[in-house]
């Protein structure tokens, strides 16, 4: 936090870097959002960005003078001061050129100097044409930055500068501001998933009976989305396999939409091959209709003709991941929504399920009409294969998500040291 001239502890101090892309105009809205929500923002544009937005805009909206090079206000040593005292550095838009300069430690303007002196979380928000984003050089730079603990948001898909569209669009300012708040709020935990690849499944699968009907469940996907957002904020590269998720998916997370258990099984199994952690938060249907009618099923006048739905088993995705794993990676986390009954308590059912599934952690929650599903809070017990038990009393799904990652982090092998040559 910064301290004002009056010695008062006040607002979180944010450096907003703006690189030279058309999305620079959207950074003005981000600046507005951050200043209006109580952040002290200093804007550091690159010289190229001044072709898009002039410094008068930044100075007026931020209330601070603006420089692009290290030769202005030298008596203040701004290239060291800004980075050292920032609570967060966010660069939006981050162009392919800026990503390359950041990845390789260049220090040829004020913004790249700030990036080298910053000891706080750094958030880069790429925006560029699809071809540039998918280029191997850009992807290698992004991988290198992520491996070093920098949070690089996934670009959104949508309309680009002209009539073309695809991945490369800068996420909306409100989403970037939310990512900034998460990074500012997560304190010392910020980096503990840096360089890790994480797969989270979320939501509930739907098994079609006919073109309009399905067998489904009440999962909203909120807990899985919170897990994906928390992992991204802690530096992981996250893929969310989303089965009918009812809440917006977080910026900075790669989303793979799926419908059925079979589609989810295929996506998760493929992604697990390169992952450090797989969290199965999705409610996966155990059974599907054995036959799917191509036409809408109709009732006839004769009740004796009423259809009988025959079910067949879906694959158990989590058990399949356990079987396919060689060694300790990926760490596998299951979820279990249980009710107590005459055959055992919720905890006893959870322990039995953990043993049956063979995963490393099982996040157990008691469900009922108003518990667990489609609510903003959750109360869970995180069971470990080694017999550990961590209770998380009724808390927001974000708090539960961080508790799950707190349990996962010590189970991860030490991170590999990544160099440019290794990419």
**Catalytic site positions:** 217
Interface with ligand CTP, residue 284, by CB under 6 A: yes
**Min separation Cβ 336 and ligand CTP, Å:** 4
CA distance 75 to 56: 22
The interface region with ligand CTP, picked from 45-53, 97-105, 248-256, 281-289 by CB under 6 A, is 281-289
Angle between helix axes 55-62 and 24-36 (nearest 10 degrees) is: 10
In the complex, what is the shortest distance from the CB of residue 287 to ligand CTP, in angstroms, rounded to a whole number? 9
Q: What one-character DSSP code corresponds to residue 9?
A: B
Given candidates 127, 178, 241, 280, which one binds ligand CTP under the rule CB under 6 A?
Answer: 280
For 328-397, give the DSSP string: S-SEEEEEEEE--BTTB-HHHHHHHHHHHH--SEEEEEE-BTTBSTT-SEEEEEEEETTS-EEEEEEEEH
Segment lying near ligand CTP (by CB under 6 A), choices 13-21, 63-71, 99-107, 278-286:
278-286
Which of 177-185, 239-247, 329-337, 411-419 is the region at the interface with ligand CTP (rule: CB under 6 A)? 329-337
Under the binding rule (CB under 6 A), the answer on residue 21 touching ligand CTP is: no
CB of 261 to ligand CTP, least distance (A): 6
Quick one: which segment of 41-49, 250-258, 269-277, 330-338 binds ligand CTP (CB under 6 A)? 330-338
At residue 392's C-alpha, the angle toward residues 389 and 394, to 5°, is 145
Listed in order, strand segments (DSSP E) in 46-164 are 88-94, 122-126, 151-152, 156-159
316 is a site residue for ligand CTP (CB under 6 A): yes
Say whether the peptide bond before residue 330 is cis (omega within 30 degrees of 0). yes
DSSP code of residue 38 = T
Query: 154 vs 338, which CB is nearer to ligand CTP?
Result: 338
CB of 44 to ligand CTP, least distance (A): 44
CA distance 114 to 102: 10
> Applying CB under 6 A, what is the total number of residues that bind ligand CTP?
12
CB 16 within 8 A of CB 42: yes
Of the pair 10, 286, the CB lying nearest ligand CTP is at 286
Backbone angles phi, psi at 72, to 5 degrees: -90, 150
377-384 and 389-396 strand pairing: antiparallel
Residue 356 Cβ vs ligand CTP, minimum distance, rounded to whole Å:
7
Is 50 one of the binding residues for ligand CTP (CB under 6 A)?
Answer: no
Q: How many CA atoms lie within 13 A of 165 on its CB side?
A: 5
Which residue's CB is nearer to ligand CTP, number 91 or number 317? 317
Does residue 147 touch ligand CTP according to CB under 6 A?
A: no
- We find the least distance from the C-beta atom of residue 120 to ligand CTP, in angstroms, to be 35
Chain residues binding ligand CTP by CB under 6 A are 261, 280, 282, 284, 286, 314, 316-318, 334-336
């Amino acid at each position: 936090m910064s301290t004002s001239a009056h010695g008062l502890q006040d607002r979180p101090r944010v450096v907003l870097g703006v690189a030279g892309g058309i999305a620079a105009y959207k950074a003005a809205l981000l600046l507005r959002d951050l200043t209006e929500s109580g952040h002290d923002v200093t804007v550091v544009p690159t010289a190229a960005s001044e072709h898009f937005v002039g410094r008068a805009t930044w100075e007026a909206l931020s209330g601070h003078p603006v420089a692009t090079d290290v030769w202005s206000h030298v008596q203040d040593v701004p290239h060291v001061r800004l980075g050292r005292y920032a609570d967060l550095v966010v660069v939006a838009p981050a162009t392919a050129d800026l990503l390359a300069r950041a990845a390789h430690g260049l220090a040829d303007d004020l913004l790249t100097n700030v990036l080298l002196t910053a000891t706080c979380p750094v958030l880069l928000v790429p925006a560029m044409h699809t071809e540039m984003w998918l280029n191997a050089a850009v992807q290698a730079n992004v991988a290198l930055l992520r491996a070093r603990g920098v949070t690089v948001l996934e670009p959104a898909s949508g309309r680009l500068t002209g009539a073309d569209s695809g991945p490369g669009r800068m996420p909306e300012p409100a989403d970037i501001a939310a990512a900034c708040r998460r990074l500012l709020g997560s304190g010392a935990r910020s980096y503990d998933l840096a360089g890790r690849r994480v797969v989270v499944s979320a939501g509930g699968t739907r098994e079609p009976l006919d073109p309009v009907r399905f067998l489904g469940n009440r999962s909203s996907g909120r807990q899985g989305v919170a897990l994906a957002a928390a992992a991204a904020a802690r530096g992981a590269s996250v893929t969310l396999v989303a089965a009918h998720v009812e809440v917006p998916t977080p910026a900075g997370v790669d989303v793979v939409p799926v419908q059925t258990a079979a589609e989810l099984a295929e996506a998760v199994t493929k992604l697990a091959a390169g992952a450090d952690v797989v969290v199965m938060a999705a409610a996966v249907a155990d059974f599907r209709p054995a036959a799917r009618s191509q036409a809408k099923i109709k009732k006839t006048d004769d009740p004796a003709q009423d259809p009988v739905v025959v079910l067949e088993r879906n694959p158990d995705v989590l058990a399949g991941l356990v079987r396919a794993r060689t060694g300790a990676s990926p760490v596998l986390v299951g979820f279990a929504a249980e009710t107590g009954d005459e055959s055992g308590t919720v905890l006893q059912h959870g322990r039995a399920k953990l043993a049956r599934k063979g995963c490393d952690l099982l996040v157990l929650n008691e469900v009922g009409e108003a518990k667990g599903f489609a609510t903003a809070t959750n109360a869970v017990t995180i069971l470990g294969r080694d017999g550990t038990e961590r209770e998380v009393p009724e808390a927001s799904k974000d708090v539960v998500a961080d508790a799950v990652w707190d349990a996962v982090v010590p189970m991860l092998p030490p991170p590999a040291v990544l160099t440019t040559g290794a990419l």
